[in-house]
Structure 1
Amino acid sequence: MDKVQKISSENGVVIFSKTSCCLSYAVHILFQDLGVLPHVHEIDRDPEGKEIEKALSRMGFNGPVPAVFIAGTLVGSTNEVMSLHLSGSLIPLLQPYRTSN
Structure 2
Amino acid sequence: MAGAAVAVGLLPNYAQIGIAAPILLVALRILQGFSAGGEWGGAALPAVEHAPAKHRGLFGSFPQMGVPAGMLLATVVLGITTATMSKEAFLGWAGAFRSC
Q: TM (normalized to structure 2)?
A: 0.29
Q: Highest relative contact order (Cα 8 Å, sep 6+), 1 or 2?
A: 1
**Larger Rg: 1 or 2?**
2
More strand by share: 1
Q: TM (normalized to structure 1)?
A: 0.29
